[in-house]
Amino acid sequence: MRCLNCGFENMPGLKSCARCASSLALGDVSVVPGRASALRLRTRFDRLRNRVAAVTSRVLHFRIPWWLPKTRGPRVWPALARTALPGLGHIHIGHRVAGWMFLSIWLTFLLLSLLTLPSWVTPWFLSGAVATHAAAVISVLAVELSFERIAMRILFGVLLFVALRQLVYAPIGGLAQLFWVPIIVPDNLVPGPVTQAGDGLVYEGRWLRPEQFERGDLVFYQIPATTGNQFYSLEGFGLDRIVGVPGDEVSVKGGDLLVNGKAPRPEEMPIGSTSSLPDLDFVVSKGQYVILPTRLSFQTHNVSIRDEMILRVSLPPSDFILGRVLFRLQPWSRFGRIE
């Protein structure tokens, strides 16, 4: 068995050369090379990236491999692409334990951030998920980064964390908020059976918000800043049911609410009491809704000013209604759909 590489005469039965370790059994080896038609883009990208790195190091006398890691093997990039879901890249390259560990930690953080939504701990859990993701990416690139100095590796990790947070997770969060928006019930609302200050709610985002609302819809709405005779009110948010839609005649007389001359059904009544409201009379025009501020607290003892303030905030324009409230997320004891 003569080695073709070094010419050494090996003992019969050996599979590799005793001197140079070249293979002596070539019978089953594939001889058809893989072609690049599907990978040409990658070749161009790699050349461009390496060229930029080379020019930067020459011009700035400063190596910046933390954002331009060099390719040293064909397995890094597929693994890196799979690390879009932390851990899958590790599973792809055969590091199953590490892969499942990254995936489970990341999912745990993500689940915790969803369960605690929208509270002050949510951003911390989300940061944990992002950090786990960044660690998974760094772990996949460990061989590449091992050539760099420790300071560069730390800098790369920090930049990766910031980039993932700002360029991946924040846009995904922003996209989700076009459908559902989590809020904490503002402190200016009087506690009641439906909501209490500090409750975590979800209302419809911009893409789910209906064009027109109906009587009885529980909505989250914006109260614009107004200035009146001897008072001003700051901008804020309110939460109550719509009692009048365009075309309706709404009146409050002696604390009794009448819509088009009739008492509304219980599910169309405001969530607070109307007994403390002054006498009001509205004809709702197009683009307006009547939402009586039965849950708002007013910081004044002057009855006439209070009545004027109530009158001003009771007819919010359609654009100021942010969306229908769908769910209560917090506290967990009262988790569920809001009727």
Partner 1 sequence: MTGRFANLEFDDERHESAETQAEAPSSERDGWSLLEQARSAHIEAQHEAALRLYTRALQEDRRLIRAWVGQVQMLVNLGELHEARVWGDKALELFKNNGELLAAKAQACIRLNDRKTALASSDGAMQAPGSSPWRWEVRGEVLLARGDRQFDVCFQKALEEPDADWFDRVVVARIYRFYKRAPAAMRYLRAAVEMAPEQAYAWYELGACQRELGLVGAATTTLEHCLDLNSNCREAADALAALNRMSFMDWLRGVLRRWRSR
The reply to whether 33 sits near partner 1 by the rule CB under 8 A is yes
Instruction: Give least dist CB 337 to partner 1, A.
Output: 54
Judge whether 250 and 284 are in contact, CB under 8 Å.
Answer: yes
Q: How many CB atoms lie within 10 A of CB 239?
A: 26
Q: Are 250 and 264 in contact (CB under 8 A)?
A: no
Stretch that binds partner 1, among 49-57, 251-259, 300-308, 326-334 (CB under 8 A): 49-57
Pick from 14, 21, 121, 159 the residue near partner 1 by CB under 8 A: 21
Neighbours of 44 (CB within 10 A): 10
- Collapsing DSSP states into helix, strand and coil, what is residue 210? coil
Q: Which is nearer to partner 1, 53 or 305 (CB)?
A: 53
Specify whether the CB–CB gap between 271 and 328 falls below 8 A: no
Beta strands (DSSP E) in 52-192 are 180-184
Given 22, 122, 127, 251, the residue binding partner 1 (CB under 8 A): 22
Smallest CA-to-CA distance from 69 within 134, 132, 147, 136 is with: 147
Asked whether position 9 contacts partner 1 by CB under 8 A, the answer is yes
Stretch binding partner 1 (CB under 8 A), from 40-48, 81-89, 101-109, 170-178: 40-48
CB 106 within 8 A of CB 133: yes
CB of 30 to partner 1, least distance (A): 9
14 touching partner 1, by CB under 8 A: no
The upper half-sphere exposure of residue 335, i.e. CA atoms within 13 Å in the direction of its Cβ, equals 8
The region of 23-31, 110-118, 152-160, 258-266 touching partner 1 under the rule CB under 8 A is 23-31
- Which residues, numbered 66-85, are part of the site for partner 1 (CB under 8 A)? 70-72, 74
Stretch that binds partner 1, among 45-53, 82-90, 202-210, 294-302 (CB under 8 A): 45-53
Q: At what angle do helices 150-163 and 122-140 cross, to 10 degrees?
A: 130
334 lines the binding site for partner 1 (CB under 8 A): no
* 143 is an interface residue for partner 1 by CB under 8 A: no
Q: Is 51 in the site for partner 1 (CB under 8 A)?
A: yes
Which residues contact residue 183 at a Cβ distance below 8 angstroms, ignoring those fewer than 6 apart?
118, 200, 201, 202, 203, 220, 237
User: Is residue 287 at the binding interface for partner 1, with CB under 8 A as the rule?
Assistant: no
- Provide the 3-class DSSP secondary structure of residue 127: helix
Q: How far is the CB of 46 from partner 1 (least distance, A)?
A: 6
Q: How many residues bind partner 1 (CB under 8 A)?
A: 37
- For binding to partner 1 (CB under 8 A), which residues are involved? 2, 4-9, 17, 20-23, 26-27, 29, 31-36, 39-40, 42-43, 46-47, 50-51, 53-54, 58, 70-72, 74, 147
